[in-house]
Chains A and B, each alone.
Chain A
Amino acid sequence: MKHKTKSLEHIIHGIFLILGLITVGCVLLISVYLILSGLPAILEVGIADFLFGSSWEPSAAEPEYGILPFILTSIYGTAGAIIIGVPIGFLTAVYLAKMAPKKVKAVIQQAVSMLAGIPSVVYGLVGMIVLVPGIRKLFGIPDGSGLLAAIIVLAIMILPSIIKMSVTALEAVPKEFEDASLALGATPEETYFRVSVPAAKSGIAASVVLGVGRAIGEAMAVMMVAGNVPNMPDSIFQSVRFLTTAVASEMAYSVPGSLHRNALFSIALVLFLFIMLINATLNFFLKGDRTK
């Protein structure tokens, strides 16, 4: 009897070990699949031509597979979203964490959660109907869909991540720091911006990195407002294609097994590498916070 229960315990331990390792297995599976399906096209096209080629014409007589326009669009689009979104998100977070009356704070935080829960296609839809015609009229250009529309949509979409994470970081600042500053005669505003914010800086930095990750990975909303033509992003009104939308928009009609489809997997691999880099940065900031 005793022996039997003991072996049962061993079996159960083994089952839980397998379940525990499932996340690791999934990450490995995803990495291996992406590398295996993404590498062939990169090698066939040539890594320099693929990454730095400026024209993407997979269905031309002499097809070209340069993804520089997508890479630059993703970088510009994300940078633009960060430039608009971070100041708004950061200032809102400081207000919510430090100065807002309790009721206001509760209401705005509920609103921010709502913003986070709206599906990306809904952002895309409202962008298509409100933002794109708005940009067209405001700037008097023939088509409002393009980089600027995508940047605005992305800036709104990253707001909740930035606000939530920064509020958490700011709330974790020890009250003694602030009391000391106030007691020395600093105004509340000076205290929050010169004492609390520097103390929470790694959490706030992490929130920005999280925003970068969300912006660079967003596909559907961007697909609906960016115009989706593989142009170099020369101006903010240019109709452009992101790394994510490059994968999503041609997957349906590329022939399985063709160089065209394989090149789409290669784009996904490049995107994946970007994301892994961002994850590593995020971890760096979060660890910095923990060890302190």
Chain B
Amino acid sequence: MSTKRKIFRWAVRIGMGLATGITAALTLFLVGYVLIKGFPNISWELLSTSPSYISERIGILPDILNTVYIVIATLIIVIPLGVGAAIYLTEYAASKKLVGIIEYAAEALSGIPSIIYGLVGMLIFSNNMGTSLLAGALTLVIMNLPTIMRNTQESLKTVPQSYREGAFGLGAGKWRVIRTVVLPGCLDGVITGCILSVGRILGESAALLYTAGFAHVAYGFFDGLTQSGSTLTVALYVYAKERGEFGVAFAIASILMVLAFLINLSASMISKHHQRRNAA
């Protein structure tokens, strides 16, 4: 082998090793650093109280509740919309052009940065119904629509055509076929979409800052939806950037990190389960 080829071989090997090493080391460092800085700051008091200026106490209970509320509200609205859109695309749409336009629109939606969603959400929702968790949730609905739609669509494609034909052959109408044959088949797609959406909602801050606001008061679900409130991610930003409370910020960051890990784990478990089922 000529020296030139040898040099190429080793340059490439070293380059790949370095790059992969950097990627792995960065992840390890980020995860480790946040967990080590964050865990000691997590206390039961932090998790179970509201912040109080009088006793100079910081609690993130309201932020936890707000996060849960906003996830629930978003999913309740986005699932029917996304699944419906996917069903239209795979079961009804006859015109290829229309399908192309809808899919292009979905792609465009997933490329729009969250700060723009925040701005438009503020104009459309918050200016009409006040800065509130519901306004934030509606903004997140638009953001997560493509995720739910695409995942449902993928799993609808795996429902064998013969199932549909069998049902039609037995005299079922289209709606009945969708309800009894198609919908049950796309359940795992919907679940995958939901998990990915939850991950995105947990990590979202720019879209919520000016739609859901940043109050830290604990409410019940329905009262909470009409009030301004910050999710954990927004609270992290406020505590770190505006208040300089880095202990609290790292505590929240470590919680988010653990949640992100769990979401990744369940997403990959579901896709593995899915692959196995399709292979069988």
Interface residues of A (CB under 8 A from B): 5, 8-9, 12-13, 15-17, 19-24, 26-27, 29-30, 33-34, 37, 87-92, 94-96, 99-100, 107-108, 110-115, 117-126, 128-130, 156, 159, 163, 187, 189-190, 193, 213, 216-220, 223-224, 244, 247-248, 251-252, 265, 268, 271-272, 275-276, 278-279, 282-283
Given A111-B28, A125-B250, also A120-B205 (CB < 8 A): yes
State the CA gap A74–B193 with chains docked (Å). 32
State whether A22 touches B81 (Cβ < 8 A): yes
Min distance, Cβ B198 to any Cβ of chain A, angstroms: 11
Per-residue contact bits, chain B 6-48, to A (CB 8 Å; 1 contact, 0 not): 0011001101111110111011101101100100000000000
Interface residues of B (CB under 8 A from A): 1, 5, 8-9, 12-13, 15-20, 22-24, 26-28, 30-31, 33-34, 37, 80-81, 84-85, 87-89, 91-93, 98, 101-102, 104-109, 111-120, 122-124, 142, 145-146, 149, 173-175, 199, 202-206, 209-210, 233, 236-237, 240-241, 246, 249-250, 253, 256-257, 260-261, 263-264, 267-268
State whether A279 touches B116 (Cβ < 8 A): no
State whether A91 touches B20 (Cβ < 8 A): yes
23 A-B residue pairings within 8 Å (CB atoms): A9-B174, A20-B93, A22-B145, A23-B102, A24-B105, A26-B142, A87-B19, A88-B22, A91-B15, A92-B22, A95-B17, A111-B23, A118-B257, A118-B260, A121-B205, A126-B34, A126-B253, A213-B113, A248-B209, A251-B209, A272-B112, A275-B116, A276-B108
State whether A95 touches B113 (Cβ < 8 A): no
State whether A121 touches B233 (Cβ < 8 A): yes
Min distance, Cβ B59 to any Cβ of chain A, angstroms: 19
State whether A34 touches B108 (Cβ < 8 A): no
- The one of A117, A128, A217 in contact with B115, judged by C-beta atoms closer than 8 angstroms, is A217
Contacting residues, chain A, for B173 (C-beta < 8 A)? 5, 8-9
Given A20-B85, A112-B27, A117-B263, also A282-B19 (CB < 8 A): no
Contacting residues, chain A, for B267 (C-beta < 8 A)? 113
Contacting residues, chain B, for A125 (C-beta < 8 A)? 34, 236, 240, 246, 249-250, 253
- The one of A99, A121, A271, A282 in contact with B116, judged by C-beta atoms closer than 8 angstroms, is A271
State whether A91 touches B106 (Cβ < 8 A): no
Min distance, Cβ B32 to any Cβ of chain A, angstroms: 11
Contacting residues, chain A, for B17 (C-beta < 8 A)? 95
Closest 4 CB pairs of A and B: A217-B113, A20-B88, A19-B84, A119-B203
State whether A88 touches B111 (Cβ < 8 A): no
Given A21-B102, A187-B9, also A27-B120 (CB < 8 A): no
Min distance, Cβ B264 to any Cβ of chain A, angstroms: 5
State whether B203 touches A114 (Cβ < 8 A): no
State the CA gap A92–B22 with chains docked (Å). 9
State the CA gap A128–B237 with chains docked (Å). 11
Q: Name which residue of chain A comes closest to B98, CB basis.
A: A20
State whether A95 touches B111 (Cβ < 8 A): no
- The one of A12, A92, A120, A219 in contact with B203, judged by C-beta atoms closer than 8 angstroms, is A120
Given A19-B81, A95-B19, A156-B26, also A190-B8 (CB < 8 A): yes
State the CA gap A240–B26 with chains docked (Å). 25
State whether A16 touches B113 (Cβ < 8 A): no
Prevailing SS type, chain B contact patch: helix
State the CA gap A233–B7 with chains docked (Å). 39
State whether A27 touches B28 (Cβ < 8 A): no
- The one of B92, B106, B122 in contact with A23, judged by C-beta atoms closer than 8 angstroms, is B106
State whether A23 touches B105 (Cβ < 8 A): yes
Given A126-B33, A129-B246, also A88-B203 (CB < 8 A): no
Given A20-B93, A283-B104, also A26-B145 (CB < 8 A): yes
State the CA gap A87–B19 with chains docked (Å). 8
Contacting residues, chain A, for B1 (C-beta < 8 A)? 187
Given A23-B149, A213-B111, also A108-B24 (CB < 8 A): yes
Contacting residues, chain A, for B257 (C-beta < 8 A)? 118, 122
State whether B268 touches A124 (Cβ < 8 A): no
State the CA gap A91–B23 with chains docked (Å). 10
Min distance, Cβ A162 to any Cβ of chain B, angstroms: 10
Min distance, Cβ B239 to any Cβ of chain A, angstroms: 9
Contacting residues, chain A, for B28 (C-beta < 8 A)? 111
Contacting residues, chain A, for B81 (C-beta < 8 A)? 19, 22
Given A115-B30, A119-B256, also A24-B84 (CB < 8 A): no
Contacting residues, chain B, for A112 (C-beta < 8 A)? 23, 27
State the CA gap A164–B107 with chains docked (Å). 17
Given A15-B84, A114-B31, A118-B30, also A244-B175 (CB < 8 A): no
State the CA gap A279–B205 with chains docked (Å). 23
Min distance, Cβ A269 to any Cβ of chain B, angstroms: 9
Q: Name which residue of chain A comes closest to B239, CB basis.
A: A125
State whether B109 touches A189 (Cβ < 8 A): no
State whether A130 touches B84 (Cβ < 8 A): no
State whether A20 touches B102 (Cβ < 8 A): yes
State the CA gap A95–B12 with chains docked (Å). 10
Given A122-B236, A218-B113, A248-B115, also A34-B120 (CB < 8 A): yes
State the CA gap A33–B139 with chains docked (Å). 14
